[in-house]
Amino acid sequence: MPRTLIRDLAAAVGEEVTVYGWVNALRLQRKLQFVIVRDHTGLVQITNKRTDEAGELEQLIEHGMTPESAVKITGVVISAPNVKLGGLEIQPTAVEVVSRADAMPIDRQTGIDQRLDWRFLDVRQPERQLTFAVQTTLEEALREFAYAEGCTEMHTPKLMGTASESGSEVFAVKYFDRTAYLAQSPQFYKQMAIAGGIDKVFEIGPVFRAEPSFTSRHSTEFTGLDVEIAWIEDVEDVMRFEERMLAHALRRIEERHGEAIREIFGVEVTVPDVAFPRYTMAEAISLLRARGWDPEGVKEDLDPEGERMISRIAAEEHGSEFVFITEFPISVRPFYHLRPEHNPDVTASFDLLWKGLEITTGAQREHRHDVLLKQAEEKGLGLEPLTSYTDCFRFGTPPHGGFGAGVNRILMVLLGLESIRDAMFLFRGPNRLTP
């Protein structure tokens, strides 16, 4: 019989149906057999009380059935107001164990490391199912916005011939008789697309960071959202693009999953007002120092504590979960960030923080070939290795800017997850390459 999804059972009362799913729980007694079956749309109770002529219960559900076995159950949907799961149950006529499960190696109390060892079993939990449903909606909505803005979706190479700008934090790959490197960002390539006359470009794909970091917000491989747009007036155009994009995605998520997220994660999805508040780095630092941050007064960038504090200030002052920090000093930004005319001591750059966590870095890029070379030299960089990058600015390249955001970090903040390890299917860290 064709499959009926559990969420559709209410419309099938009185009919015979077949549900496919996993044994969520079971109680097999001599006079009564109960099984709770779970599919990706819900739970249903199976109640077997069918007796034979002698008045004995027919053992339709074999006693070897185990929790988490994959089953197909055919039976009649009965209205049963006392049953908590939707006020209905299925009285079975045929039960098939499609794949019997061994004893579970993890349970609800298992710590995260062992959960990750058995991630495919962990993913069966409702909060993980919801996590990936939300991720799907998040990306669908980000793309929907990008398409509407006229973006072209480009796939940039993950294999590079030379280590990207920083040189550090890059994985080396044995590539036939030479060495390749894994892209730690599509930065260079998306700018190349802009130089190629692609008006707006976006990509959602893997990025790789060879950082030996063990924090709750770092991983060596994650999903990046990258956007680059041409013909901007200034970096504000980029920030406005991003805030509208995120607001659109959060609206979609609230509509589709708001209730489930509230129920399962206890988190309210707030669709933000745009524009988000903006503090220049100078403003942020003086606000933070007034509250006792960085007592030595030496930092030019925000540390995680500073990020959390400035987010709290933005929440107090503007009622916003989001805050842009702008105009980062030249010292903490790469040579290719444009320096605004009104203040050439800083860069036309920004970070976006959400509830205290950095989720984005962006900037207007320097598109003038001569200025770019000058800035590279000032940073003490050799021009020769940069030629393949700087050549992109010799043939008519419009002003442009963009940003890179971490999809898993967005998901982590959105659902209030404690670790980025739960905001991706299969986490990769310095000590973890499996499963």
Phi, psi of 423 (to 5 degrees): -100, 15
* Closest CB 299 distance from its own copies, rounded Å: 29
| Near its own copies in 171-190, by CB under 8 A | 171-176, 178, 180, 182, 189
Specify the residue, 84 or 178, whose C-beta has the smaller distance to its own copies. 178
Q: Which is nearer to its own copies, 346 or 392 (CB)?
A: 392
Order of all β-strands in the sheet with 400-406: 152-153, 200-208, 221-230, 400-406, 357-365, 349-354, 322-326, 278-280
Among 25, 104, 148, 383, binds its own copies (CB under 8 A): 104
Structural tokens at position 249:
């995605």
In whole angstroms, the minimum distance from the beta carbon of 327 to its own copies comes to: 24
Q: Please, which residues have CB within 8 angstroms of residue 341's CB and are 6 or more apart in sequence?
A: none
Kindly give the residue spans of alpha helices, DSSP state H, lying in 149-210.
187-195
Helix 407-415 with 126-148: angle, nearest 10 deg = 130
How many whole angstroms separate alpha carbon 88 and alpha carbon 80? 4
Minimum separation from the CB atom of position 217 to its own copies (A):
17
Query: Given the complex with its own copies, which of 119 and 409 has the nearer CB atom?
Result: 119
- Helical H runs in 208-347? 235-265, 281-290, 304-318
Residues 123-142 that bind its own copies (CB under 8 A): 123-124, 128-129, 132-133, 135-136, 139-140
Q: Does 165 bind its own copies (CB under 8 A)?
A: no
What is the widest separation between alpha-carbon atoms in the chain? 95
Taking CB under 8 A as the rule, does residue 319 contact its own copies?
no
Beta strands in 30-82 (DSSP E): 33-39, 42-48, 70-79
Question: Cβ closer to its own copies: 221 or 358?
Answer: 221
> Which residues in the 343-382 window bind its own copies by CB under 8 A?
367-369
Q: How many CB atoms lie within 10 A of CB 222?
A: 19
Please provide the distance, in angstroms rounded to a whole number, between the alpha carbons at the two ends of the chain: 35
Closest distance between its own copies and the C-beta of residue 104, in Å? 7
Q: Write out the binding residues for its own copies, residues 141-160 only, by CB under 8 A.
A: 143, 147, 151-160
| Rounded-to-integer distance, Cα 116 and Cα 125, Å | 13
What mask, x for binding its own copies by CB under 8 A, covers residues 53 to 72?
-------------x-xxx--
Site mask for its own copies (CB under 8 A), range 189-218, x = bound = x--xx-xxxxx-----xx-x-x-x------
* Burial grade of 289 (CB within 10 A; 0-12, 13-18, 19 or more): middle
Nearest to 334 by CA among 293, 292, 283, 389: 389
Shorter beta-carbon distance to its own copies: residue 21 or 356? 21
Total number of residues that touch its own copies (CB under 8 A): 92
The reply to whether 122 sits near its own copies by the rule CB under 8 A is yes
Q: Which of 36, 89, 95, 119 binds its own copies (CB under 8 A)?
A: 119
Q: Buried b / exposed e across 348-371, counting CB within 10 Å, b at 16+?
A: bbbbbbbbbbbbbbbbbbbbeeee
CB of 378 to its own copies, least distance (A): 21
**Residue placing its CB nearer to its own copies in the complex, 87 or 197:** 197
CA 150/CA 399 separation, integer angstroms: 17
Closest approach, Cβ 21 to its own copies, in A, equals 8
φ, ψ dihedrals at 238, nearest 5°:
-70, -45
434 in a known ligand binding site: no
Query: Which residues, 20 to 39, sit near its own copies by CB under 8 A?
Result: 20, 22-23, 38-39
- 84: amino acid identity, one letter: K
Q: Which stretch binds its own copies (CB under 8 A): 53-61, 318-326, 371-379, 396-404?
A: 396-404
Binding residues for ATP: 209-211, 358, 406-409
Binding residues for L-aspartate: 165, 209, 361, 365
Binding residues: 165, 209-211, 358, 361, 365, 406-409
